[in-house]
Amino acid sequence: MNSLKISNSLTRSKDLFKPINPKNITMYVCGPTVYADPHVGNARSLIAFDLLYRVLIKLYGQKNITYVRNITDVDDKIIETSKTKGIPIDKITSNVLKNFHRNTKDLNCLEPTSEPKATDHIKEMIEMINSLIKKKLAYINNGHVYFLISEFKNYGKLSNKQLDDLISGSRVEISKLKKNPLDFILWKPALADEPGWDSPWGRGRPGWHLECSVMSEKYLGKIFDIHGGGLDLLFPHHENEIAQSCANNSSDILANYWVHNGFLNMNKEKMSKSLGNIETISEALDKYNGQVIRLALLSAHYKQPLDWSDNLLEQSKATLEKWYELYDDVESEIDNSEIFSCLLDDLNTPKYFAKLHELYNVASKGDKIRRIEFNNACRLIGIFNQKKDVLVRQKQDASNVDKKYILQKIEERIKARKTGNFKLADRIREELSKNGIVIKDKDNKTEWEYK
Does 206 have pLDDT greater than 90?
Answer: yes
Instruction: Give this prediction's pTM.
Output: 0.86
**Lowest mean pLDDT, pick from 35-39, 66-70, 72-76, 330-334:** 330-334
Residue 276 domain flag: no
Give the Cα separation of 333 and 116 in Å (integer): 34
The arithmetic mean of pLDDT across residues 187-206, rounded, is: 96
- The yes-or-no verdict on residue 401 having pLDDT over 60 is yes
In the chain, the number of structural domains is: 3
**pLDDT(1) > 60:** no
Do residue 242 and residue 336 come from a single domain?
no
pLDDT digit string (tens) for 14-51? 999 999 999 999 999 999 999 999 999 999 999 999 99
Is residue 266 very low, low, confident or very high in pLDDT (cuts 50, 70, 90)? confident
Q: Is 90 exceeded by the pLDDT of residue 53?
A: yes
Residue 76: inside a domain: yes
The CATH number of whichever domain residue 368 belongs to comes to 1.20.120
- 82 found inside a domain: yes
Note whether residue 29 is domain-resident.
yes
Shared domain for 138 and 224, answered yes or no, is yes
Query: Do 129 and 26 share a structural domain?
Result: yes
* pLDDT computed for residue 398 by the predictor: 54
| Nearest CA among 361, 359, 389 for reference residue 375 | 359
3 state SS of 438: strand
pLDDT of residue 436: 74
Residue 293 binned pLDDT confidence (cut-offs 50, 70, 90): very high
DSSP 129-193: HHHHHHTTSEEEETTEEEE-GGG-TTTTTTTT--HHHHHHHS-----TT-SSTT--EEEEE--TT
pLDDT reported for residue 330: 79
Specify whether 100 is located in the same domain as 231: yes
Q: Which of 363, 386, 409 is the last residue of a domain?
A: 386
pLDDT of residue 395: 55
Looking at the structure, tell me whether residues 152 and 240 fall in a common domain. yes
pLDDT exceeds 90 at position 415: no
114/79 same-domain check: yes
Percent of the chain topping pLDDT 90: 76
Whether residue 424 lies inside any domain: the answer is: yes
- Kindly indicate the confidence band of residue 351, based on its pLDDT and cuts at 50, 70 and 90: very high
286 lies in some domain: no
Higher pLDDT, 174 or 116: 116
pLDDT of amino acid 214: 98
Same domain, 369 and 405: no
In angstroms, rounded to a whole number, what is the distance separating the alpha carbons of residues 153 and 10? 16
d(CA 55, CA 169): 37
Residue type, position 236, single letter? P
Is 417 in the same domain as 370?
Answer: no
Last residue of a domain, one of 364, 386, 408: 386
Q: What is the pLDDT of residue 2?
A: 56
In a domain, 282, yes or no: no
Query: What is d(CA 24, CA 18) in angstroms, rounded to the nearest whole number?
Result: 12
HSE on the CB side for 45, CA within 13 Å? Answer: 23
Residues 161 and 22 in one domain: yes
Of 386, 407, 441, the one marking the end of a domain is 386
Query: Do the domain assignments include residue 292?
Result: no
User: Which CATH number covers residue 16?
Assistant: 3.40.50.620
pLDDT value of position 444: 72
Same-domain pairing of 343 and 365: yes
Q: Is the dihedral of CA 187, 34, 299, 308 positive or negative?
A: negative
| pLDDT for 168 beyond 70 | no
* Distance of alpha carbon 46 from alpha carbon 28, whole angstroms: 12
Q: What is the extent of the structural domain holding 363? A: 312-386
> Sorting pLDDT into bands at 50, 70 and 90, what band is 372?
very high
Residues 193 and 72 in one domain: yes
Question: Does residue 167 sit in the same domain as residue 53?
Answer: yes
